[in-house]
Amino acid sequence: MKPSGTTSTTAAAPSVRETGAQPAWEVLLPAAGAPARRRGRALQEALREAVRSGRLTAGTRLPSSRALAQDLGVSRGLVTEAYEQLTAEGYLRSDRGSGTWVGGAVRTGRTAPDPDPRTPAAPGSGVIADFRPGTPDLSLFPRTAWAAAQRTVLSELPHSALGYPDPRGLPVLRSALAALLGRRRGVVADPGRLVVCSGVAQAATLLGSVLRARGHHGVGVEDPGSPEHARLFAATGLDTVWLPLDEEGLRRAPLSRSGTRAVVVTPSHQFPSGIAWSAERRGMLLDWARSVDGYVCEDDYDGDFRYDRAPVGALQGLDPERVVYTGSVSKSLAPGLRLGWMVLPESLVDEVVERKRTMDLGHPALDQAALAHLVTSGGYDRQLRRCQRAYRERRDALLAALDEHFPGTEVTGIAAGLHVIARLPARYGPTRRFLEVAAGVGVALRSLEEYGTARPADGAVRLVVGYAHLTPATITAGMRRTAEALGTR
Ligand SMILES: Cc1ncc(COP(=O)(O)O)c(C=O)c1O
């Protein structure tokens, strides 16, 4: 959709060199000079920052990818990729055949610094392949690096660091996380607005109780969505309102009807459907939040794992005053650490920090210091790269196994995360029988129906299949066994 009400939308876009006054995309030149390996990413970061800072204003038409590539002296593919990525994130809008325009991202004036799937089957339970989603591969936990980090901080921390910690978290960790989230996820993260907590779960509890105290009565949750979101917010006294998703995200009408002024969403890789919210719906959600003076809680639960495309940046980067960004190490390191974070709008910081203080007087200092060390030493990035390689291989093994043993299956949500959605043709159904037969041969699976209220009548078997914690051999064996037991091979 073309932005309206601006004169610049019809003006031809000048090239970098042709005007005397410096055009806004001159700001991209340093990125174009970055080493080849980092050039694409640098270009995307520079463009994102130019929109955020207001240097490129909403409605500005960008040069064609060919013209900009020529001007910057970079390949056209890099520019096309940057345009596509930022369009997906909502910073740009593209109008096929007509051009690319700066979208309506909010100017913040701030810059970013550089059912219980959680319980795996017990050994000896007869389960040979547990495809329930939610757990990373715990055997990949970087024990050596974590032990080294613990040793270092124990020997270096002064005695005073063993007192009650700052309820917001150790300054060293907040700075490290702010830089990490800015760099990896496009989060506008000021350490002063970052609160360290016990995972997304505590973030939801803190936020829910603050909203309740402010007079909120309900919170919207995605349908299908995480049952955990509903449970956590409900425990703070808020009513949860299920809001149906389509293939692009939430729609405005049910949001407006819900009567709530807060919603919890997973826009980068929706849980469980795996879709990335479209740029339009991301923009719509933020418009809605502004119009009701409300908040969006963004759960970036598996934001670190992307396989076939650049990550979709966090929604928070588009409007840090309306979005509460939450994340944790539960997928990247281990859920047992109970370490997470929230990046807050200025208007919520004091109340959330006070809740955190009265809840537990702050997060354990030694674990915080160890995580800060892992992040600043580069160990955390190494761990993410290691997991990414392993998980991509497992995902590919799952796709191959589904293709071989359940021909005709459509698989979606494959570009990211630790699970996919598999839609098996109706001849493998009905769903209940499928799950029972699989369980009978030691294969634990979950159906999509368990995560929401929709009951499609097409007879297809829709599964939410976690793969990250399973070896390729287990994945293949699990699918083969199920197909054999069903008698479909
Ligand atoms: C979508 C989603 N987000 C977050 C969580 C909780 O994460 P954390 O371990 O960070 O508290 C869960 C756990 O079940 C989940 O399903």
Task: Of 324, 296, 327, give the one whose Cα is nearest residue 311.
Answer: 327
Per-residue pLDDT, averaged over 130-143, amounts to: 96
Lowest mean pLDDT among 70-84, 144-158, 350-364, 475-489: 70-84
Tell me: pLDDT of 20 over 80. no
Q: Mean pLDDT over residues 149-160, rounded?
A: 96
Q: What kind and span of H or E run contains 479?
A: helix 472-486
Determine if ligand 1 sits within 6 Å of the CB of residue 133.
no
3-state helix, strand, coil in the chain (%, to 5): 45, 15, 40
| Predicted pLDDT of residue 65 | 85
Residue 125 pLDDT = 63
pLDDT tens for 292-328 read 999 999 999 988 898 887 778 999 999 999 999 999 9
Nearest of 432, 444, 435, 431 to residue 474 by alpha carbon: 444
Residue 19: is its pLDDT beyond 70? no
Task: Name which of 108-112, 229-233, 356-360, 450-454 the model is least confident about.
Answer: 108-112
Q: Is 271's C-beta closer than 6 angstroms to any atom of ligand 1?
A: yes
Tell me, in angstroms, the distance from the centre of ligand 1 to residue 235's CA: 15
As beta bridge partners, residue 241 has 220
Residue 489 has pLDDT above 70, yes or no: no
Res 359 pLDDT > 50:
yes
Q: What are the tokens at 339?
A: 């370490």
Question: Which atom in ligand 1 lies closest to the alpha carbon of residue 299?
Answer: 3
Instruction: State whether the beta carbon of 451 lies less than 6 angstroms from ligand 1.
Output: no
The span from the CA of 116 to the CA of 107, in Å, is 40
Percentage of the chain lying above the pLDDT 90 cut: 70
CA of 200 from ligand 1 middle (Å) equals 6
Query: 82 and 69 in contact (C-beta within 8 Å)?
Result: no
pLDDT of residue 457: 86
| Nearest ligand 1 atom, CA 340 | 10
Ligand 1 close to Cβ of residue 134 (< 6 A): yes
Buried b or exposed e, range 112-145, using 16+ CB within 10 angstroms: beeeebeebeeeeeebebbbbbbbbbeebbbeeb
Q: How confident is the model at residue 42 (pLDDT cuts 50, 70, 90)?
A: confident
**Cβ(335) – ligand 1 distance below 6 Å:** yes
- Segment holding 419, helix H or strand E: strand 419-424
Give the confidence band of 17 by pLDDT, cuts at 50, 70, 90: very low
Percent of the chain with pLDDT over 70: 89
pLDDT of residue 24: 57
Provide the pLDDT for residue 103.
Answer: 76
Residue whose CA is at the smallest distance from ligand 1 atom 1: 226
- Euclidean distance between CA atoms 25 and 79, whole angstroms: 12
Alpha carbon 81 to chain centroid, angstroms: 20
Tens-digit pLDDT profile for residues 210-250: 999 999 999 999 999 999 999 999 999 999 999 999 999 99
Say if ligand 1 is within 6 A of residue 330 CB: yes
Give all domains of the chain, ordered by start, each with its CATH number.
24-102 (1.10.10.10), 129-140+382-486 (3.90.1150.10), 143-377 (3.40.640.10)
Of 84-88, 137-141, 398-402, 430-434, where does mean pLDDT reach its minimum?
Answer: 84-88
Say yes or no: CB of residue 233 within 6 Å of ligand 1.
Answer: no
Half-sphere exposure of 411 (CA within 13 A, CB side): 18
Distance 397 CA to ligand 1 centre (A): 25
Please state whether the predicted TM-score (pTM) of the whole model is above 0.85: no
How confident is the model at residue 2, as a pLDDT?
33
Ligand 1 pocket, mutate which of 330, 337, 341, 446 (most atoms under 8 A from CB): 330
Residue 202 contacts residue 227 (beta carbons within 8 Å) = no
Distance 388 CA to ligand 1 centre (A): 19
Q: Give CA–CA dist 489/405, Å, rounded.
A: 7
* Residue 298: closest CA among 189, 378, 375: 189
User: For residue 325, which of 354, 295, 347 has the smallest C-alpha distance?
Assistant: 295
Lowest mean pLDDT of 12-16, 57-61, 402-406, 469-473, name the range. 12-16
Mean pLDDT of the chain: 88
Q: What Rg, from alpha-carbon coordinates, does the chain have?
A: 23
Task: Say if CB 421 and CB 413 are below 8 A apart.
Answer: yes
Give the per-residue pLDDT at 94.
Answer: 76
Q: Is 340 in the pocket of ligand 1 (CB under 6 A)?
A: yes
CA of 134 to the centre of ligand 1 (A): 8
Would the pLDDT of 376 be above 90?
Answer: yes
Residues 6+ apart with CB under 8 A from 339: 196, 198, 199, 328, 329, 333, 363, 367, 368, 371
Say if CB 369 and CB 161 are below 8 A apart.
Answer: yes
* SS3 (DSSP) at 268: coil
Most confident of 35-39, 110-114, 208-212, 301-305: 208-212
Query: Is the CB of 391 inside a 6 Å radius of any atom of ligand 1?
Result: no
Q: Is the pLDDT assigned to residue 257 strictly greater than 70?
A: yes
| Substitution site in 197, 200, 231 for ligand 1 pocket (most atoms within 8 Å of beta carbon) | 200
* Runs of H (alpha helix) within 377-471: 379-405, 431-440
| 352, containing H or E segment | helix 346-360
Instruction: Using alpha carbons, select from 133, 128, 122 the residue that is nearest to residue 331.
Output: 133
pLDDT on residue 353: 98
Res 488 pLDDT > 80: no
Q: How far is the CA of 439 from the centre of ligand 1 (A)?
A: 25
* Rounded Cα–Cα distance for residues 455 and 357 (Å): 43
User: Quick check: CB of 201 below 6 Å from ligand 1?
Assistant: yes
- Measured from the Cα of 271, ligand 1's closest atom is 1
Question: Position 309: which residue type?
Answer: R
Nearest in space to 150 (alpha carbons), one of 365, 329, 341? 365
Q: Are 210 and 349 in contact (CB under 8 A)?
A: no
Ligand 1 atom with minimal separation from the 227 CA: 16
The H helix count followed by the E strand count for the chain is 15, 17
470 C-alpha to center of ligand 1: Å? 19
Q: How confident is the model at residue 96 (pLDDT cuts 50, 70, 90)?
A: low
- What is the average pLDDT across 66-71? 85
- Ligand 1: centre distance to CA 18 (Å): 51
Q: What's the confidence (pLDDT) of residue 429?
A: 87
SS3 of residue 228 by DSSP = helix
Q: Which atom of ligand 1 lies closest to the CA of 202?
A: 11
Predicted pLDDT at 116: 46
